[in-house]
C-alpha cells in the first residue's frame, strides 16, 4: 500500500494543478423552470420554518459581505427533519469511490486504478455512470475532464467527514494532492474508523450557501457577465452536487442529482 500511495501521489503531482478549467456538465435548472417538488417557495408562507428562514438569512449575510448578487425570492431548502441523514459509512464509501474516479479522470493509469479498487474494496461502490467510465479502457477526453472534476465532490465529502476543517469559498480548485493523501494515508479501515460526520445543521448550512452561490454564477453566465467575486463555476457546481446528495435532495441517486437554481 505504501508503494502504491507514493506512486499515486507522484502521479497526481505530475498531472494536477487543481481541476481542469473546463466546466463540468450541469444538471441544473433555473428558478423559472424548477419542478413543483423543488425547494419550497417563500410564497408558501404557512410552510416556512424558523430554521430554514434563519439559514437563508445567514447565507445572505455572507453573500452581502462578499458582494455577491442574490434574489430574496430564491426558495428555502429542506430543514433537518425534511432532509436525509446519510450514515458515516455511506459518505465515506462515496468519498473513496469519488477519489478513485477522479484519479482516473486525471489520467492515472488503469493498473493503478484497478489496484486502488482492490485495496479499498470498492468493486461494488461505483454508480452506473462511474462503472462505465472505470471499465472503459479508452475513455474520451470529454469523459476524462468531466470525471476529474469529481475531486471537488470528494473534497466536500472530506469536509463532511471531518478530515478538513473548512470548505472555504468556492473560488479555487481543491488541493487534490492533499485530498488523495488523506485517503491513502488512512487506508480503507482507517478512513472509515476516523471519519466523524458533521451535524446535519452544518451540512444544510453549506448546502443553502452553495445553492445561492450557484444562482449568482448561473445568473452571471446567462447575462454574459463574469462570475461574481471570482467564484469558480465548476467548483460551485460540483459542491452543489455533493451537498445536494448529502442532504438527500429529492431522494435522487448520485448520477441523477440535480443542482437547480
pLDDT tier for residue 34 given thresholds of 50, 70 and 90:
very low
| 70 located within any domain | yes
Same domain membership, residue 90 and residue 61:
no
| pLDDT given for residue 43 in this prediction | 44
Of 194, 210, 225, the last residue of a domain is: 194
- Residues 229-256 have pLDDT tens digits of 999 999 999 999 999 999 999 999 999 9
| pLDDT given for residue 37 in this prediction | 40
Same domain membership, residue 116 and residue 179:
yes
Q: How many residues are recorded in the chain?
A: 261
| 176 located within any domain | yes
- Positive or negative, the CA dihedral 200, 205, 57, 74 is negative
Same domain membership, residue 205 and residue 76:
yes
| 33 located within any domain | no
DSSP code string of 196-239: -PPPHHHHHHHHHHHHHHHHHHHHHHHTT-PPGGG--HHHHHHH
- Give this prediction's pTM: 0.87
Same domain membership, residue 168 and residue 113:
yes
- Positive or negative, the CA dihedral 114, 119, 120, 123 is positive
| pLDDT given for residue 8 in this prediction | 62
Query: Packing angle between helix 176-194 and helix 150-160, nearest 10 degrees?
Result: 40
Same domain membership, residue 174 and residue 102:
yes
Same domain membership, residue 154 and residue 124:
yes
Same domain membership, residue 58 and residue 125:
no
| 36 located within any domain | no
Phi, psi of 179, rounded to the nearest 5 degrees: -60, -45
260 HSE (CA, 13 A, CB side): 18
| pLDDT given for residue 201 in this prediction | 97
- Residues 97-122 have pLDDT tens digits of 999 999 999 999 999 999 999 999 99
- What's CA 253's distance to the chain center, in Å? 14
- Residues 163-210 have pLDDT tens digits of 999 999 999 999 999 999 999 999 999 999 999 999 999 999 999 999
Residue 103's domain comprises 2-7+86-194
| pLDDT given for residue 42 in this prediction | 46
Q: How distant, in Å, are the alpha carbons of 35, 60, 124, 219, 241 from that of 53?
A: 21, 11, 40, 22, 22
**Gyration radius from the chain CA atoms:** 18
| 131 located within any domain | yes
Say how many domains are in the chain: 2
Top pLDDT among 17 and 187 is at 187
Angle at Cα 166 formed by Cα 165 and Cα 167, nearest 5°?
A: 135
- Residue 183's CB is within 10 A of a number of other CB atoms, namely 25
| 34 located within any domain | no
Angle at Cα 220 formed by Cα 215 and Cα 225, nearest 5°?
A: 170
Amino acid at each position: 500500500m505504501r508503494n502504491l500511495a507514493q506512486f499515486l501521489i507522484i502521479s497526481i503531482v505530475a498531472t494536477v494543478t487543481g481541476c481542469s478549467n473546463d466546466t463540468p456538465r450541469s444538471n441544473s435548472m433555473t428558478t423559472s423552470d424548477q419542478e413543483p417538488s423543488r425547494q419550497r417557495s417563500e410564497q408558501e408562507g404557512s410552510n416556512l420554518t424558523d430554521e430554514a428562514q434563519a439559514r437563508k438569512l445567514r447565507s445572505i449575510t455572507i453573500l452581502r459581505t462578499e458582494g455577491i448578487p442574490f434574489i430574496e425570492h430564491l426558495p428555502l431548502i429542506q430543514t433537518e427533519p425534511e432532509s436525509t441523514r446519510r450514515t458515516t459509512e455511506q459518505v465515506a464509501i462515496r468519498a473513496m469511490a469519488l477519489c478513485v474516479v477522479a484519479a482516473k479522470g486525471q489520467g492515472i493509469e488503469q493498473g493503478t486504478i484497478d489496484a486502488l479498487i482492490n485495496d479499498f474494496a470498492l468493486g461494488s461502490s461505483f454508480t452506473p455512470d462511474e462503472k462505465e467510465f472505470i471499465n472503459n479502457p479508452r475513455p474520451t477526453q470529454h469523459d476524462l475532464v468531466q470525471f476529474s472534476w469529481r475531486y471537488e465532490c470528494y473534497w466536500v465529502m472530506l469536509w463532511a467527514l471531518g478530515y478538513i476543517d473548512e470548505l472555504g469559498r468556492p473560488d479555487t480548485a481543491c488541493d487534490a494532492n492533499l485530498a488523495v493523501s488523506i485517503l491513502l494515508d488512512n487506508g480503507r479501515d482507517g478512513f472509515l474508523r476516523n471519519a466523524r460526520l458533521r451535524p446535519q445543521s452544518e451540512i444544510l448550512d453549506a448546502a443553502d450557501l452553495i445553492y445561492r452561490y450557484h444562482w449568482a454564477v448561473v445568473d452571471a453566465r446567462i447575462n454574459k457577465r463574469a462570475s461574481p467575486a471570482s467564484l469558480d463555476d465548476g467548483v460551485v457546481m460540483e459542491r452543489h452536487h455533493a451537498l445536494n446528495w448529502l442532504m438527500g435532495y429529492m431522494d435522487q441517486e448520485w448520477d441523477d442529482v440535480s443542482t437547480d437554481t
